[in-house]
Structure 1
Amino acid sequence: MSATQHTYRVIVRGRWDGLTEEARAKLLSEVADHGLAQLRFTPEGSLAYDATLTSFTYRYVIVSDAADGEEMAAALAEDRAETALRSAGLGFRELRSRATDMDTMKINRRGR
């Protein structure tokens, strides 16, 4: 019998750290593709930052066992963000995240 899977939306925030000139130039050349308008929750992660290159945000959709809860979903998303940043050769620090269980979220609908 399989465990119940829940879908989590996770926001991972962090700060850029120790960026090389090459990394800064690459990030700045792509800044228009990473604004808030392009930010989506996806399994691969959606990265947003601005031209100040101080901080960044990743948004992930994580599907995991409901029994593991939001803490596990947040840890999985942080791991994905670390992997993506390291593979791109980008320095970072202070990762923190917040997960929301979309399967237990209450939706308040307003009458029209």
Structure 2
Amino acid sequence: MKLIIATIKPFKLEEVREALTAAGVRGMMVTEIKGFGSQSGHTEIYRGAEYAVNFVPKIKLEIIVAASMADSVVETISNTARTGKIGDGKIFVLDVEQAIRVRTGETGEDAL
């Protein structure tokens, strides 16, 4: 099993969710986060005063899939979330040793 962690722009969430559902992903966890990378923030003007915004709003997706699906899920996220502009996000893929469904006690891929 693989854990895919992706950070994307907030306005891309629904489009990515629809693409992943069509690709066979049965569930995901979504968190609103703030961070910076190459963007390193920006300046905004509010009521005539300029101020720095050091952290940019992002969405973090956490998806656990069978190892055989990982490459297609990464490709789906990458293609759907891409705008071609700085700050499109990052995708990380990690190994998962075990998964347990609390309600039924199922383990491994059966718990997904």
| TM tier, smaller | 0.3 to 0.5
TM-score by length of 2: 0.35
TM-score by length of 1: 0.35
- From the two aligned structures, give the one with the greater helix fraction: 1
